[in-house]
Chain A
């Protein structure tokens, strides 16, 4: 790789968001004159090409790893604040996330080409869509605090506009309000973090911050602020409340972007702040991140299990995956603080691998949900069923994504979670007792979350796609258009590919890990049979390709042998059902009845479940009614409590406005005296 190509990478990457912004501007200017159809082609087609280009640039950067050291010269453009300019850089970490944005954006744009046709008010989506993508590309490219925060806010606002696309639904308006409040709060925390890092000298460029690592206390505060700021965007519990509201409210391809990609940009923000800018980590940094990750994973998946709205369910499962990623990051912090660079690289690579994987399968799942919504007009699980007959291709793609997100071999979700478990198994080498004991406990929590995720997606797929249709809409559903199908199938194919060849992905992620923790996992590409061996072969190895081949060969071989030797006669007959088949689809298990055992075991206390059965008195022919009430204590007690507190404080402040002059004077007098006392004590 010649130096000139390497030097051209960052400008090339910057051209992509610029092109997207140009598309957005063009859409706004031309507006309705363009016609909805041509505008759709312009926006989605153009965005797809740009995203593919961005993905290509990121890939080249990762393969050449020319900027792996993270000390690359910044590119300064005369934008933004006069005298400071805007700095951009493309290092290993940025390239990974640029690739994720590119991949997710390309798939979403392809999907949008077909899905966008059903949009009632296309001009509420079209201009914001490329702007949102541009914001997400600019965040990883930014190399100073100002550019970073502006891009971050730009991304938030564009996605907020997209959440409001269907603004006539009151729920969506509420979701958008909660979202914008949380996003503003998060940015506020990030602003403080950057201000602390910049210090009194005001070195806003990342390079300047790197050069002067903060002292221990400041660094600790930065960690807390990063957890709040990036965590609220990513959906860490208890800052996750906006996520299940806002993600489903947007059009499905935008939901896919928000869940699959935007939460990853939040992970990027955390990585940049804590791993790169906040200086060498202290040993305890890992603990809050680990605990937050474990709790987020468990709470997220349990919430997902209780949902009956498919897009909400998927949004809640995003929270779970963010928890897994943050657990990996916490582990990496703990290892890095103790100088165990190889172990830190393993944990970090596991987290980054999961970032990529989650972008793939969660996008595919949201596309599937969008397809179901297009075909049936409903998002309620209890009105779906039997779609595998009516929408076979969608059903296949969603099945692959479900298997992947449930972390089952040989697909990609398993590969990254396997790496995470391997990293957890290195924890006894940590010197601190607290960490030694906390990591296996978090490991148990993660194992529980993974198992619950499998249950969650059996429920999702089983209720929506299998069984008999529970409504007329589901019974008459039609397969969706080719663009949507090819987007879903493409992502499903990538899920298989990343699961079968995890070594390639790991090698691509190496520059990012090397830049952040000073080491990378040993190269996997050259190993025999394309296995992955994170530490040493005697310790652990995994080969997705062979597992897939073994399963395929033995399943097909057995099927062939059985059919040859034992006959292949099939007779279709009514279902057996213990001799009492009932033609009414309402006799099937519903989404809530499927979740009932798990609700009883895990969720009773967490969601304040109240179940009540109303039995009519004997002789009364009215049906018995079962009522189920769920509520989220984090929302009810935490957020509403906070809102109530703010309200009361406002009431109190309101009283201050109707005082007499004498009272005002005494207020001023008292504050003056108080300040003087403070001054006296201070000295």
Chain B
């Protein structure tokens, strides 16, 4: 467990990289959606400019906001960033991967959501309440669905450590399993819901009665809003990287491998993220947003799939 320098460098590079790449991923999804709707769309780097502008602006804080309101953006960002730092993106030999496993990553994202929902209620406006209330409703089904997916993966790989899971998935031992397919579908459904994408929520809407995430952060501005937007991008990147490292683990550099392997890993990661972003954009343009009270059915299906995946594990190669 004593970290050596090379591993520490990989860990640091990974933390910096996810942070740097996250807005680009969001930008790519937006671009793909725009092109599919035959719009030109904003340039890929627009989000960086938006963030820089938001950071420069003064923060307008509501009169009766408490200290919690001002602390939450940084807390949310930190929790998401720590969770993102633990997901192997291009290399599995992360120094601190043992400090938290997949369950802890789920719970870290849960912490971020908990505080964001509290911040939504802090100012005492009706929209903040709507957003927080709907967000926790979505989370109460999405989180167990995520946990069931984690169960499936952990039972297949014999570990909840993400590095070990990724390494186990990369070997041929695992084989084709219907459980893994179900877990993948469930995880994608959870990712769609947790990132507030269509059909669960629309990240671009400001129509009062349909928004969820945007309603919660309605009162934020300036640097606080920048941190929250950055955290949202980070979360999207985290989920895409998670799906990539578990279900398409090829190209990941193992611990202690050379510079070339790391370069290949980087290229593979970039490629996977790009493909995933395009697929997400494609998916989002091809479905319509559902009513809020259809969302529990959608996520309930994800939960059932996760549960079914764990059950079906017992009729695969273990027979």
Bound CA span A476–B161, Å: 50
Give which listed residue, B2, B117, B154, B221, contacts A425 with CB less than 8 A.
Answer: B154
Q: Which residues does chain B contribute within 8 Å of A559, judged by CB atoms?
A: 74
Q: Which residues does chain A contribute within 8 Å of B55, judged by CB atoms?
A: 562, 565-566
A437 adjacent to B62 (CB under 8 Å): no
B59 within 8 A of A: yes
Binds B, one of A31-39, A163-171, A204-212, A442-450: A442-450
Given the interface contacts A455-B137, A598-B140, does A466 sit within 8 Å of B63 by beta carbon? no
B148 adjacent to A444 (CB under 8 Å): yes
Bound CA span A416–B293, Å: 33
B72 to chain A, nearest CB (A): 10
A581 within 8 A of B: yes
Give which listed residue, B79, B99, B129, B140, contacts A588 with CB less than 8 A.
Answer: B129
A406 within 8 A of B: yes
A358 to chain B, nearest CB (A): 17
Most chain A CB inside 10 Å of its own CB: which residue of B104, B227, B314 = B104
A408 adjacent to B137 (CB under 8 Å): no
Nearest A-chain residue to B159, judged by Cβ = A539
Bound CA span A267–B153, Å: 33
B274 within 8 A of A: no
Bound CA span A407–B62, Å: 30
Give which listed residue, A461, A571, A578, contacts B218 with CB less than 8 A.
Answer: A578
Binds A, one of B21-29, B108-116, B246-254, B282-290: B108-116
B98 adjacent to A541 (CB under 8 Å): yes
B50 within 8 A of A: no
Binds B, one of A20-28, A543-551, A622-630, A673-681: A543-551
Binds B, one of A115-123, A361-369, A381-389: A381-389
A537 within 8 A of B: yes
From 371 to 400 in chain A, residues with beta carbon under 8 angstroms from any chain B beta carbon are 385-386, 388-389, 399
B219 adjacent to A408 (CB under 8 Å): no
Nearest A-chain residue to B152, judged by Cβ = A440
B148 adjacent to A575 (CB under 8 Å): no
A425 adjacent to B208 (CB under 8 Å): no
Bound CA span A54–B26, Å: 57
Query: Chain A 551-578 against B: per-residue CB contact (8 Å), 1 yes, 0 no?
Result: 1101110110011011101111111111
Give which listed residue, A573, A593, A598, A602, contacts B61 with CB less than 8 A.
Answer: A573
B108 adjacent to A403 (CB under 8 Å): no
B62 adjacent to A574 (CB under 8 Å): yes
B121 within 8 A of A: yes
B307 adjacent to A441 (CB under 8 Å): yes
B313 within 8 A of A: yes
From 67 to 110 in chain B, residues with beta carbon under 8 angstroms from any chain A beta carbon are 67-68, 70-71, 74-75, 77-79, 81-82, 85, 96, 98-101, 103-104, 107-108, 110
B310 within 8 A of A: yes
B125 adjacent to A567 (CB under 8 Å): no
Q: Which residues does chain B contribute within 8 Å of A569, judged by CB atoms?
A: 58-59, 222
B140 adjacent to A576 (CB under 8 Å): no
B159 adjacent to A540 (CB under 8 Å): yes
A440 adjacent to B310 (CB under 8 Å): yes
Bound CA span A573–B58, Å: 12
A543 to chain B, nearest CB (A): 4
Query: Chain A 593-622 against B: per-residue CB contact (8 Å), 1 yes, 0 no?
Result: 111111011100000000000000000000
Nearest B-chain residue to A543, judged by Cβ = B99
Given the interface contacts A444-B144, A531-B98, A597-B137, does A408 sit within 8 Å of B111 by beta carbon? yes
A462 within 8 A of B: yes
B64 adjacent to A437 (CB under 8 Å): no
B193 to chain A, nearest CB (A): 13
B34 within 8 A of A: no
A575 adjacent to B124 (CB under 8 Å): yes
A547 adjacent to B108 (CB under 8 Å): yes
A249 within 8 A of B: no
Bound CA span A659–B22, Å: 88
Bound CA span A597–B138, Å: 9
Q: Which residues does chain A contribute within 8 Å of B223, judged by CB atoms?
A: 562-563, 566-567
A403 adjacent to B111 (CB under 8 Å): yes
Given the interface contacts A528-B1, A555-B75, A558-B78, does A589 sit within 8 Å of B107 by beta carbon? no
Bound CA span A596–B296, Å: 13
B292 within 8 A of A: yes
Given the interface contacts A424-B151, A437-B314, does A454 sit within 8 Å of B218 by beta carbon? no
B134 within 8 A of A: yes
A658 within 8 A of B: no
B79 adjacent to A567 (CB under 8 Å): no
B160 adjacent to A601 (CB under 8 Å): no
Q: Which residues does chain A contribute within 8 Å of B310, judged by CB atoms?
A: 440, 443
A477 within 8 A of B: no
B127 within 8 A of A: yes
A581 adjacent to B155 (CB under 8 Å): no
From 171 to 224 in chain B, residues with beta carbon under 8 angstroms from any chain A beta carbon are 206, 208, 218-219, 221-223
A414 within 8 A of B: yes
Nearest B-chain residue to A448, judged by Cβ = B144
Given the interface contacts A462-B132, A540-B161, A578-B208, does A447 sit within 8 Å of B148 by beta carbon? yes
A444 adjacent to B140 (CB under 8 Å): no
B280 within 8 A of A: no
A418 within 8 A of B: yes
A585 within 8 A of B: yes
A575 adjacent to B82 (CB under 8 Å): no
Bound CA span A563–B148, Å: 40
Q: Which residues does chain A contribute within 8 Å of B218, judged by CB atoms?
A: 576-578
Bound CA span A38–B215, Å: 54
A463 within 8 A of B: yes
Given the interface contacts A572-B63, A575-B62, does A467 sit within 8 Å of B121 by beta carbon? yes
Query: Chain A 260-288 against B: per-residue CB contact (8 Å), 1 yes, 0 no?
Result: 00000000000000000000000000000
B36 within 8 A of A: no
Bound CA span A448–B143, Å: 7
B126 within 8 A of A: yes
Q: Which residues does chain A contribute within 8 Å of B13, judged by CB atoms?
A: none
Q: Which residues does chain A contribute within 8 Å of B46, judged by CB atoms?
A: none
B125 adjacent to A588 (CB under 8 Å): yes
Nearest B-chain residue to A585, judged by Cβ = B124
Q: Which residues does chain B contribute within 8 Å of A515, judged by CB atoms?
A: none
Bound CA span A502–B108, Å: 17
B281 within 8 A of A: no
Query: Chain A 220-238 against B: per-residue CB contact (8 Å), 1 yes, 0 no?
Result: 0000000000000000000
Given the interface contacts A547-B82, A571-B60, does A444 sit within 8 Å of B1 by beta carbon? no
B278 within 8 A of A: no
B139 within 8 A of A: yes
A601 adjacent to B104 (CB under 8 Å): no
A92 to chain B, nearest CB (A): 28
B237 within 8 A of A: no
Give which listed residue, B67, B101, B219, B307, contacts A541 with CB less than 8 A.
Answer: B101
From 408 to 443 in chain A, residues with beta carbon under 8 angstroms from any chain B beta carbon are 408-409, 414, 418, 421-422, 424-425, 428, 433, 436-437, 440-441, 443
Extra 9 A-B pairs, beta carbons < 8 Å, given A575-B124, A575-B125: A388-B68, A389-B64, A447-B144, A455-B137, A467-B123, A550-B78, A554-B78, A575-B123, A578-B218
13 residue pairs A–B, Cβ–Cβ below 8 Å: A388-B66, A388-B122, A448-B303, A450-B144, A468-B64, A537-B98, A543-B98, A550-B99, A554-B82, A570-B59, A578-B208, A588-B125, A601-B140
Tell me the A residues contacting B by CB distance below 8 Å. 385-386, 388-389, 399, 403, 406-409, 414, 418, 421-422, 424-425, 428, 433, 436-437, 440-441, 443-444, 447-448, 450-452, 454-455, 457-459, 461-463, 466-468, 528-529, 531, 537-543, 546-547, 550-552, 554-556, 558-559, 562-563, 565-567, 569-578, 581-582, 585, 587-589, 593-598, 600-602
Tell me the B residues contacting A by CB distance below 8 Å. 1-2, 55-56, 58-64, 66-68, 70-71, 74-75, 77-79, 81-82, 85, 96, 98-101, 103-104, 107-108, 110-111, 113-114, 117-118, 120-130, 132-134, 136-137, 139-144, 147-148, 151, 154-155, 158-161, 164, 206, 208, 218-219, 221-223, 226-227, 292-293, 296, 303, 306-307, 310-311, 313-314, 318
